[in-house]
Amino acid sequence: MISLLINNQTYQIDADPEMPLLWAIRDLVELTGTKFGCGIAVCGACSVLIDGKRSYSCTYPVGDAMGKKITTIEGLTDKAGLAIQQAWIELQVPQCGYCQSGQIISATVLLKTKSDPTDADIDMAMQGNLCRCGTYQRIRAAIHRAAELIK
Ligand code: FES
Ligand code: FES
């Protein structure tokens, strides 16, 4: 059995330690806000926080996640996470929405390290998250708005 701490709740799962963490999150724990996109650590749709760092759960072995603190979009309830979600709603950022939980995870990490990021900071921090709908301009605006909300 593998013990996982996800969103401050402990789950015991029966899985191969090499299985991607994403499968555990979506199929075994049934938190489906985190998405499967490319499966090869390119698109960012599967982003979660592991000990506060943005990580691609599609290529992260579930066995390596034992003893670590995992946060998914469903558990993003701290100040930065809530401000970002509010800004996302205000500015109607998503189009199809598929990439957006990953975008929000990365934006949260950015705002925790830079309280007032520039456009260049945002572009750098968000480059690991692709959006096929091209919502990049709204993502940028929403991150600036979230920074204001946090102040
Ligand atoms: S699904 Fe993990 S990076 Fe694309
Ligand atoms: S909103 Fe559709 S892929 Fe980003």
Instruction: Assign residue 28 the CATH number of its domain.
Output: 3.10.20.30
Per-residue pLDDT at 44: 98
Q: Alpha-carbon distance 32 to 91, whole Å?
A: 24
Q: Which ligand has its closest atom nearest to the C-alpha of 139?
A: 2
Q: So what's the pLDDT on residue 50? A: 98
pLDDT digits (tens, 9 = 90+) for 48-63: 999 999 999 999 999 9
Residues of the chain below pLDDT 70:
none
Ligand 1 atom closest to the Cα of residue 39 is: 1
Q: In 10-151, which residue ranges form alpha helices assigned H by DSSP?
A: 21-23, 79-90, 100-113, 119-125, 136-150
Atom of ligand 2 nearest to the CA of 94: 1
User: What are 102-124's pLDDT values in tens digits?
Assistant: 999 999 999 999 999 999 999 99
Asked if residue 102 and residue 64 are part of one domain, the reply reads no
11 with 30, same domain: the answer is: yes
For residue 17, the enclosing domain spans 2-72
